[in-house]
Structure 1
Amino acid sequence: MSVKADGRVFRFSTDDIREKDRIPMWRDLFARSVVKVDLEPLGDAPFRSESVVHVLPDVTIRSSSASAAIVHRTKPLVADGDDNFILAVMRRGQMVAAQNNREVFIGDGGAYLWSNATTGYSRNPVAMDLLTLSFSRRSLGAIVADIDKMLMRPLPAQSEALRLLLGYVDVLQSRQEPMPADLVATSAAHIHDLAALALGATRDAAEIAARGGVRAARLLAVKADVLAHLARPGLTVDAIAARHGISPRYIRDLFGGDHTTFTDFVREQRLRRAYVMLTAAAALPIGDIAYKCGFGDLSHFNHSFRRRFGATPSDVRARAAQGDDNFRAGSD
């Protein structure tokens, strides 16, 4: 499978294939062409698998769910010339993998590095959810010290770099809209940074990652935390910093690099959420909406809302009820 690395998303599912044709078609059209392996289901239950694939420059992200199976990277497949490194992370399940006389076992949260340049196999005896990041040997090998020594070595699930990497990928995969070209390139660079740190970056690469991928991943994690707790009036930079094990000053610095402040970001997200709630078909009373969006004072909410959107909450609700689509778009 050769596609343009522009952030496009592809979805594959055995549910789209008739059961009698499922295994041979999945093996030929997905396993061999996309994952570059041979596949053999285990057990008597009907085989099922689905994958979401994001293609970025020099890295392909694949999130998969699959029934029990064994996969082989065979000599004929190795002959295809693909020598990518594959960072595999077990979201849920178990796997035994072997390559170059090394065997590794991973369970929930475990990870290891595999090379497509040689033969090997992996076996998941139960259904699993697996994340794989496929990097070109050129791009990852340039920033990881002695990368071949990292092959088939279990990575600690509690690694901070791995946690940041997974959080970054989760946010990236949650996007509903197409990625602009600059974000595609930046996201690929950040994923390389974080993967290199998890595997053992060279000194120069580690310094670059600290300025790039690590900061980006931490900022995304903090923003996600804010969005998850907008309803709390006591949402403060100190509380967020304590949950993430970093200093309030560092969080302020992260938002400064994003040309905003922590306070402004929280206010903007609360106001955006309030706008959406006000224009919903079954909208709550305005006071309840203000409270559910984290505003403890209705007067402060009304003032902030009008300053942001150029209209009062009551105006927005009335115009939305009249079907004014242009007014609905005001929260963008």
Structure 2
Amino acid sequence: MVVLEAESADDWETVVSGCFVPLRCAGFERDFTGRMEHVGLDERISVSLVTTCGTSADRTERLAHSADSDDVHLSLQRSSTGVVTAGGGSASVRPGAITIYATDRPYYLDYSRTDQQQLIVQVSRTSLGLPTAMLEDTMHRLAMPDGVRSPAARNLFSYAAGLPVGDKGGKGGDKVKTAGVLRDLAAVMIRSSFGEGSGIPRTSGGLRHAVQEYLRRNAVRPGLDMDEVARAHFVSRRRLYQVFEEDGGSPAFFLRTERLRVAARLLREEPFRTIEWIAYEAGFRDLTTFTRAFRRQYGCTPREWRATASLRTG
């Protein structure tokens, strides 16, 4: 991981051009600050978290025509508002919006308001393995229709969000696998926006991440079982367990851990609720199963954990 900070226009232009492609930056606030957290997984894909107090960037026609790559930017606006202009069109963006534009074509980014943050996946179009016409249509739209509300988009950017902090891409084979998963999730997001494909990743790592996100969102649903999870992802139960076993776990264990995490939060936030209420709200079917699982996870009963929760958070 590379972390770069800038406090001047010239420095920021150097930072952005070094991590992405050469750009002309302008529209700086008087007390400008910028921070770039950048992870390059291979020559054709990278992830960057960009935080600024407001600026604009221009990929001029001259700069675009000198590009030696076919990269696109898939950009999630975390706290940003502004306008993206490319290919003769414009798209207004706000938190949760996702834009896509090519680096070998001119574009203009107006992020001149304060408190801007984008999570950006830069990836070679060729490496995505998608039909050229589909990519052209995507770039013509500029903005993904449902933004981060789309499950496929959430899967991509939740996976990407974990990479800058601590460089979870790793080295060697692990980094290659991470790059493959990220490409897979990016391609799924684009296909899904056209209603193409099942919306299910093809790589084991991508499928595992998609299932984990599904389990997080549905952890407290009563009666959720692995047969239902497998059906929701168009795989067999055997395949579902296989992709988790490759990483040393199981989907059932992951679900139980998520439910216990919810229970621990509720024990702290709902001090007057009964332990039985906590158990059912967290997705457990009975108090005995909940208490046993909680003791295995935390080394104490839910009641004991609640009694000392204020000491841990204080």
- One-letter amino acid of the structure 2 residue matched with residue 133 of structure 1: V
The offset of 1:237, in angstroms, is 7.9
2:12 aligns with 26
Q: Normalization by structure 1: what TM-score?
A: 0.64
Match of 2:213, SS state, is helix
The AA in structure 1 aligned to 2:121 is: L
The answer to whether the 8 A contact 1:162-1:198 is kept is yes
Q: Secondary structure at 1:218's aligned position in 2?
A: helix
Q: Report SS of the residue matched to 2:77.
A: strand
1:211 partner SS: coil
RMSD value, Cα = 4.0
**Can you list the C-alpha shifts for 1:143-190, whole angstroms capped at 9, x where unaligned?**
245112211411121222111111222234455666143322222122
Correspondence list, 1:118-157, <5 A: 118-127=105-114, 128-140=116-128, 142-146=129-133, 147-153=135-141, 154-156=143-145, 157=147
From 199, 205, 215, the equivalent of 2:207 is 215
Deviation of the 1:135 alpha carbon: 0.8
Please give the per-residue CA displacement for 1:197-220, whole angstroms capped at 9, x wherever unaligned: 2222799x9479533265132233
Q: 1:298 to 1:198 in 2, by over 3 A?
A: closer
Q: Distance in 2 between matches of 1:219 and 1:171?
A: 16
* Counterpart check, 1:191 vs 2:182: yes
Q: 1:75 aligns with which of 53, 61, 68?
A: 61
In structure 2, relative to structure 1, the CA distance for the partners of 1:80 and 1:55 (3 Å cut) is: same
In 2 relative to 1, CA 201–185 (structure 1 residues): closer, same or farther, beyond 3 Å? farther
Displacement of 1:124 after TM fit? 1.2
- What is the TM-score when the length of structure 2 is the normalising length? 0.67
Which of 103, 108, 113 in structure 1 is aligned with 2:90?
103
**Alignment CA distance shift 1:202-1:263 (3 Å):** closer
**SS state of the match for residue 126, structure 1?**
coil
Please tell me the residue identity of whatever aligns with 2:202: R
Runs of 5+ consecutive residues of structure 1 not aligned to the other structure: 1-8, 230-234, 272-290, 306-311, 314-332
The letter of the residue matching 2:228 is S
Match of 2:151 among 160, 164, 178: 160
| The structure with more radius of gyration | 1
The SS at the match of 2:223 is helix
Query: Of residues 61, 66, 72 in structure 1, which corresponds to 2:47?
Result: 61
Q: Which consecutive unaligned segments of at least 5 residues does structure 2 have?
A: 261-277, 279-283, 301-314
* Structure 1 position 257, deviation (Å): 2.6
Letter in 1 for 2:49: S
Q: What is the one-letter code of the residue matched to 1:164?
A: N
SS at match of 1:193: helix
Distance 1:199 1:299, change over 3 A: closer
Please give the alpha-carbon distance, in whole angstroms, between the structure 2 residues aligned to 1:302 and 1:190: 33
From the superposition, tell whether residues 60 and 237 of structure 1 become closer, same or farther in structure 2 (CA, over 3 Å). farther
Which SS does the other structure have where 1:164 is aligned?
helix
* Letter matched to residue 99 of structure 1: A
CA displacement 1:82-123 (0-9 Å, x = unmatched): 331111111112121112211111111111211111222110
Contact residue 85 and residue 114 of structure 1 kept, 8 A: yes
Further displaced range: 156-165 or 166-175: 166-175
Separation (CA, whole Å) in 2 of partners of 1:130 and 1:31: 13
User: How far apart, CA to CA, are the structure 2 residues paired with 1:113 and 1:54?
Assistant: 19
State the secondary structure of the residue aligned to 1:210.
coil
1:240–1:221 CA distance, 2 compared to 1 (3 A): farther
Question: Could you tell me which of 8, 17, 38 is aligned with 2:24?
Answer: 38
Q: Which residue of 1 aligns with 2:274?
A: none
1:303 Cα deviation (Å)? 9.8
Describe the superposition over 1:259-286 as per-residue Cα deviations: whole angstroms up to 9, x where unpaired.
2434445678999xxxxxxxxxxxxxxx
Aligned length: 261
Residue of structure 1 equivalent to 2:162: 171
| d(CA) in 2 for partners of 1:240, 1:41 | 53
Q: What amino acid sits opposite 1:220 in the alignment?
A: Q
Q: Following the alignment from structure 1 to structure 2, what is the Cα–Cα distance between the partners of residues 120 and 301?
A: 53
CA distance in 1: counterparts of 2:163 and 2:18, whole angstroms = 24
Give aligned-pair identity as a percent.
15
**Matched position secondary structure for 2:32:** coil
Q: 1:148 to 1:68 in 2, by over 3 A?
A: same
